[in-house]
Amino acid sequence: MENSALKPLLSLKYSVTLKLVVIAFLGLLLLIPTAMIQSVIEERAFLNDEAIKEIGSKWAESQEIVGPILSIPIVYETEKDGKITRIIEDYHILPQDLRIEGKVLPEILKRGIFKGVVYRSDLAVTGSFMVLDDFDKKDFVGFNHGEAKVSFGVTDLRGIEDEVQFIVNGEKKQVNPGTGIFKVIPSGFSISMANHEFKAGESIPFTIHLKLKGSKNLSFIPTGKTTDVKIESPWTAPKFDGKFLPNSRNLTEEGFTAEWKVLELNRNYPQSWINNAYAENLKSASFGVDLLSPMEDYQKSTRSAKYALMTIGLTFLMFFLVEVLGKKNIHPFQYAMVGFAICLFYILLVSISEQVSFNIAYLISTIAVVGTICLYSLSLFRVKKYTLILATVLLGSFGFLFVTLQMEDYALLMGSIGLFIILAATMYITRNIDWNKMSLGKSEENPNQ
């Protein structure tokens, strides 16, 4: 009678279906600590961003180069009822050709354990203006030569490290703070062109030598009819962004070089205009380069944590197949311990990557977690062959994840192919199992039947 009463309980104990339900429930339950870990990663990333902003606020912010722009006041006079009214408008002229060449030397500054990328740059700006006369000639009296100026825009003036060498027509000019055309160039410096007799068609060459420091980004506004920019840097992790990508680039282990060429027809503003007509259009044409911080590794940590369910599911599948094929009986608590060990991989990854490079942190975390799970499985499987297979599966999973993280553009393709291979392998291994007659661990437990 007792044996008859115990048979339903024993049947449940060794039920494959029940075990699968429990394993699935555990896998979903482990999404809670995984979500908490992702929240921790996001918090650390936020703290890192704040640290980088603080570093930039003390050093110099991202820099955007605008200009130079020649501004000549035009005088108009109108007569009405015997009274003469004088109107003065700013006539802005852009360079006919603009060439910018420079070197960007990055530095790493720390704020606690967080790091930010800053740089020093040495820029040579050359080109020439051509005085145009495409403005409205009605009621035109003449130029106000005494107020003419050339303005040059720099986003954060704290980044100017040395005296600016500004040469026009072979003459070194005194550089003054402020642009005087704040709606066109909000921040920068200028030189006076007072008493220069401007003539239509006249060419005015210029040279500017500027030592400028900034953080993270260096951008340019194409003000030349033809704008050529060439940048060299030993930084190996650039990101080219903005309205225009480089016409040519070369990225090596020693750094990068990039060259841009922007024509007048590529932008949405002309070579000259009156007052502030195209001030907003200038901003929309910006292009340049970001120096990616090493702490972009937080993004990789976040992306890796999103694969937690796949890694946990694959490990649980391996344990379940050992139960089915090896006639072992593994308790759900033991599944949970293995799942928590995998979750700890992601918190280890982000914490170690704050101290060393991401790749080394990934290697250390993988060895720690895979080693722990394999040592734990030895007492569960009692067969070294199964533990070796488990180690291979885990190393393959984390290796696959690492490759996927490195290939951001092909992450979806790699992920889908990987899942397909896992499913196909599982189907092949379990193709001959009769699930209707299958029970778990009976040969080891030897229950009364």
Q: List the single range of 10-19, 175-184, 233-242, 438-447 with lowest mean pLDDT.
A: 438-447
Q: Which domains does the chain have, with CATH numbers?
A: 2-46+298-445 (no CATH), 63-292 (2.60.40)
What percent of the chain has a predicted confidence (pLDDT) above 90? 10
Write down the pLDDT at residue 7: 46
pLDDT above 80 (res 338): yes
Write down the pLDDT at residue 10: 42
Average pLDDT taken over every residue of the chain: 79
- The more confidently predicted of residues 428 and 245 is 245
Q: Find all residues with CB under 8 Å of 350, minimum gap 6, and list them.
A: 37, 40, 41, 44, 298, 301
Write down the pLDDT at residue 437: 61
Write down the pLDDT at residue 90: 82
pLDDT above 60 (res 438): no
CA atoms within 13 A on the CB side of 241: 11
pLDDT band at 82 (very low <50, low <70, confident <90, very high): low
The winner for highest mean pLDDT among 36-40, 124-128, 310-314, 433-437 is: 124-128
Question: Region 277-284: what's the mean pLDDT?
Answer: 80
Q: What's the rounded Cα separation, in Å, for the pair 343 and 31?
A: 9
Q: What's the rounded Cα separation, in Å, for the pair 219 and 216?
A: 10
- The more confidently predicted of residues 443 and 98 is 98
3-class DSSP state of 337: helix
Write down the pLDDT at residue 125: 92
> Residue 173: left (phi > 0), alpha (psi -120 to 50), or beta?
beta
Write down the pLDDT at residue 260: 93
| Each residue's pLDDT tens digit, 164-189 | 888 888 888 888 888 888 888 888 89
Which residue in 270, 364, 381 sits closest to 322, CA to CA? 381
Classify residue 372 by burial, with Cβ atoms within 10 Å: 0-12, 13-18, 19+: middle
Which residue in 254, 237, 216 sits closest to 357, CA to CA? 237
Which stretch of DSSP H or E encloses residue 88?
strand 83-93
Q: What's the rounded Cα separation, in Å, for the pair 99 and 258?
A: 13
Question: Region 429-435: what's the mean pLDDT?
Answer: 65
What percent of the chain has a predicted confidence (pLDDT) above 70? 85
